[in-house]
Amino acid sequence: MPELPEVEVVRRSLDKKIKQKKVEKVIIRNKNLRFKIPLNFSNFLKNKKIIKVDRFSKYLILYLSNKSYCLLHLGMSGTVHIVYKNKKNSLTNTSFYSSPILPKKHNHVEIIFSDLKIVYNDPRRFGFFQIIENLNLLKKRFAHLGPEPFHSKFNLKYICSIFKGKKKNIKNFLLDQKFISGIGNIYASEILFLSGINPTKKASLLKKNDCKKIITNSKKVLLNAIKKGGSSIRDFKNLSGQNGNFQKNFKVYERDGLICKRLECRGVIQKKIISNRSSFFCNSCQK
């Protein structure tokens, strides 16, 4: 499932390719995504200029020329492909998931511009598009979500107030989008390793210094993942010819049974299922 860094990689690709372009046509081949595509979706986008492509958490946001918005969530398996009209491009995927070329099946939505088109592909159909008519509704749409790791609101005062008296473990907190937006399973394990915190530890037992480490390392891990192009797991190039290779930097994720990478530690990476999710951690240096 794409996490914040992978969605940011898609955002940058789209912003570079479609910003200031006008939508000429929208083709809906399958409206039955996680939520049905709105009946007026095609007309809503048609003849609108894309002012910019933004992102909040794991959501892509198309800013439209009439001050309305189009949200796109990639779900579990969604990918966005850019296909040129008069140019053969073998690499179309803006991300690093699934096929680097445009698949023949599961192409549900096409947004067409003068020189290229965006194709949304999603085999499992857990992604969705949503129309947002104004800024107030956009703010309301995200009101239930916590701040991003990069936001100033994600600070020591905020974390300590949330953690006080809570029995929930820290791993589940990092995955709780109401607490913090954008962190997924891979990066939660990596953040906790750098912070030296066991994923099963109750949040209420964390010291202030632990909380400071979580704030710092959340930013550090995600920024590094964005810089590395995300974690492709299946390694291939995106449409810019770059590899998503943050997985080469994993300290704990999917390294169960291997020796800890900390120089001063000879612990072994363990795998444990926490709330039906695989968690990876060092049995020695994560307390």
Q: Which residues are catalytic?
A: 2-3, 58, 277
Q: Which of 209, 198, 250 is nearest to 5 (CA)?
A: 250
**Pairing, β 25-28 against β 69-73:** unpaired
Residue whose tokens read 């010291």: 207
Q: Are 7 and 72 in contact (CB under 8 A)?
A: no
The CB density around residue 224, as the number of other CB atoms within 10 Å, is 14
Q: Are 235 and 179 in contact (CB under 8 A)?
A: no
Q: Which of 151, 112, 105, 99 is nearest to 23 (CA)?
A: 112
Return d(Cα 170, Cα 159) in angstroms, integer.
Answer: 11
Q: Which phi and psi (to 5°) does residue 255 adopt?
A: -110, 20
Cα 134 to the center of its chain, rounded Å: 24
Q: Are 232 and 243 in contact (CB under 8 A)?
A: yes
In the structure encoding, which two tokens stand for residue 19, read together? Answer: 């910003």
Cα dihedral across residues 252, 258, 262, 267: positive or negative:
positive
